[in-house]
Amino acid sequence: MSLPPEKASELKQLIHQQLSKMDVHGRIREILAETIREELAPDQQQLSTEDLIKALRRRGIIDDVMKELNFVTDNVDQDLPSSPKQPVGFTDKQSTLLKKTNIDPTRRYLYLQVLGGKAFLEHLQEPEPLPGQACSTFTLCLHFRNQRFRSKPVPCACEPDFHDGFLLEVHRENLGDGTRMADSTTMLSISDPVHMVLIKTDIFAETTLVASYFLEWRSVLGSENGVTNLTVELMGVGTESKVSVGILNIKLEMYPPLNQTLSQEVVNTQLALERQKTAEKERLFLVYAKQWWREYLQIRPSHNSRLVKIFAQDENGINRPVCSYVRPLRAGRLLDTPRQAARFVNVLGYERAPVIGGGGKQEQWCTLLAFLCRNKGDCEDHANLLCSLLLGYGLEAFVCVGTKAKGVPHAWVMTCGTDGTITFWESLTGHRYLHKPTNPDEPSAAEQPKPLYPYRTIGCVFNHQMFLGNCQPSDSVESCVFDLNDESKWKPMSEEAIKSVCAPGATTSLPPFPPLCASTIDASVTSNEIEMQLRLLVSEHRKDLGLTTVWEDQLSYLLSPALASYEFERTTSISAGNEEFQDAIRRAVPDGHTFKGFPIHFVYRNARRAFATCLRSPFCEEIICCRGDQVRLAVRVRVFTYPESACAVWIMFACKYRSVL
């Protein structure tokens, strides 16, 4: 079989790259030197090619190379619409096998290809990573009509090598039936954008939100053959929302191909009409909000200093009504109870919005997709997600905006029971607090116990349908009465006004809520990996102190029930199984020996970072650096996985030793 010259040179280049990656040349040089040294007589100066090939075959080098070279010849799905044929390439053994996608011929699909990026100028000076070297990566996350996708991570560069295709189903939610496929006109009425979020992950697995972009895909309905190429400029987030971070080349293609395409003029007219309708609804809501605020200030001038937040800026710097950040969200089978949902939200990382330079807190309420993809966010992001999940479980839930100690602004969640019980949920810790109002005028008020919750003042509460401003004489949480139907205590906004801009599909500028994704983390494998890394770190640390390390596997295993019990208690507030754990430890520790244990909890999987934190605790350091007679050490790690690959990592260090007086 003959190849064209350009294909032959491409194939040679690929083979050369793979051989360089495996360092085959270096291994050949070693074997050549060894063969000359061992097999050549002093008077014989030449070694034939056959002799060298025999030596390479004997040492398994040729077999290794053939195993590593896996020719990909079937990596293009024949069912995909006129995809450009991929060149023959090589894949590593670790790489995911390419699977064919089952395509329902009665459904409409949008095939979105990302064909590279350019002008990511922040990474202009970044050197090309060497094979096997850890480097920062970009990952592109997509959400479209209840479907979520994630690209393969690519090294951060000025021109990142994105080459991914995503098959998005358009024909959903009763838009046509099995016998009638959605046509161009029907699809033109689907205003859902493709939400694209770009995440940067550094070598320590820390994530940063780089860009959040809403792609208007309907231009493809008016393009010839139902295929169009777009250049998408991504803008930064927060304070950098007006600064370009890079450009993506995107190709959109309808499948099956459209029988009849619309004229570009019709598409543009539809988009312009939608923008006009949205702008008018938002203008009317703004007029109403200003009027409501004037009325609220007339009740009491001091209301001006209360935290009554009607609008909040998202990651793109766009002001949106706070009610649009909350919506009933069902977790399917990923979370079983409201308390488990609270635990899930709690293990998502907490990070305040980054601010350049000094000054106050930078405000940034993230869209749900940006928060979930980054796996961390501010207290408002946590509170919005928890409120949405609790609403999904059928509870009457609200986000509360107020302050903690020292006047620090804060957001938390409140649920109202049918019997009038008010429960506060702290989304950052998973703690729940019952609220009982105190009357400051009563003489017994001084004797009443101090509330356990950390909240000091409350300015407003809201969910997806209601917004209420606190108009009680005092905004102190302790004395606040949460009878939300009493308009002398809580000034409501018109539910119709809120619905006009916050109901699903009310405006085209409203980001759709994505579904939650199951965890991709294998809890057992990850637990083992972290445990092995910690054992190594402890051994090295003790070696530096001149101490030997003897591990006791049985003692390590006995720590498992305690870790499971701690996580169960965090989720349910119920303690269980402690008696069995204590009994097992008593049996495992002989008379005259001392046992010490130290549990600690993290929401990240970086063993080195966790170990450094543990050493800062004098109790933990005492165990790790334990000196004495017959010292035996143990460590147990248990990773509990949650949706969105969030996880709770419990670690317990323990030691037992003979007590010498």
Instruction: Please check whether residues 562 and 458 belong to one and the same domain.
Output: no
pLDDT at residue 256 above 80? yes
pLDDT of residue 544: 93
H helical segments located in 492-615: 495-502, 523-544, 553-558, 560-572, 578-588, 607-615
Instruction: Please check whether residues 227 and 126 belong to one and the same domain.
Output: yes
Q: Which of 126-130, 312-316, 519-523, 591-595 has the lowest mean pLDDT?
A: 126-130
CATH number at residue 631: 3.40.33.10
Q: In percent, how much of the chain has pLDDT > 70?
A: 81
Answer whether residue 252 is part of any domain.
yes
Answer whether residue 527 is part of any domain.
yes
Q: How far is 629 from 626, CA to CA, in rounded Å?
A: 10
3-state DSSP assignment of residue 56: helix
Instruction: Please check whether residues 540 and 474 belong to one and the same domain.
Output: no
Q: Which two tokens stand for residue 649?
A: 């990592």
Q: Span 497-519, mean pLDDT?
A: 89
pLDDT at residue 72 above 50? no
Answer whether residue 632 is part of any domain.
yes
Instruction: Check: pTM over 0.75? Answer yes or no.
Output: yes
Q: Which two tokens stand for residue 378?
A: 């501010």
Answer whether residue 39 is part of any domain.
no
Give residue 207's domain range. 107-173+181-262
Q: Which two tokens stand for residue 118?
A: 């350019």
Residues 6+ apart with CB under 8 A from 314: 212, 320, 364, 365, 366, 367, 511
Tell me how far apart the terminal alpha carbons of the chain are, to the nearest angstrom: 84
3-state DSSP assignment of residue 515: coil
Instruction: Please check whether residues 205 and 229 belong to one and the same domain.
Output: yes
Instruction: Please check whether residues 258 and 141 belong to one and the same domain.
Output: yes
Instruction: Please check whether residues 322 and 465 belong to one and the same domain.
Output: yes
Q: How far is 255 from 168, CA to CA, in rounded Å?
A: 10
* 3-class SS shares of the chain: helix, strand, coil, % to 5: 35, 25, 40
- Number of domains into which the chain is organized: 3
pLDDT of residue 24: 67
Contact 603, 649 (CB under 8 A): yes
- CA-derived radius of gyration, the chain: 31
Instruction: Please check whether residues 533 and 613 belong to one and the same domain.
Output: yes
pLDDT of residue 95: 38
Contacts of 433-440 spanning 24+ positions with Cβ under 8 A: 435/477, 435/480, 435/482, 437/478, 437/479, 437/480, 437/481, 437/482, 438/478, 438/479, 439/479, 440/474, 440/479
pLDDT of residue 87: 36
Phi first, then psi: give them for residue 58, nearest 5 degrees.
-65, -35
Tokens 């009027």 belong to residue = 291
DSSP 8-class letter at 17? H
pLDDT-derived band at 360, boundaries 50, 70, 90: low
Strand pairing report for 467-470 and 409-416: unpaired
Residues 6+ apart with CB under 8 A from 160: 116, 117, 120, 123, 138, 154, 246
CATH number at residue 331: 3.10.620
pLDDT of residue 506: 80
Instruction: Please check whether residues 534 and 566 belong to one and the same domain.
Output: yes
Q: How far is 556 from 634, CA to CA, in rounded Å?
A: 5
Answer whether residue 96 is part of any domain.
no
pLDDT-derived band at 8, boundaries 50, 70, 90: low
Domain boundary among 232, 262, 292: 262
| Average pLDDT in the chain | 84
Q: Which residue has the higher pLDDT, 366 or 9?
A: 366
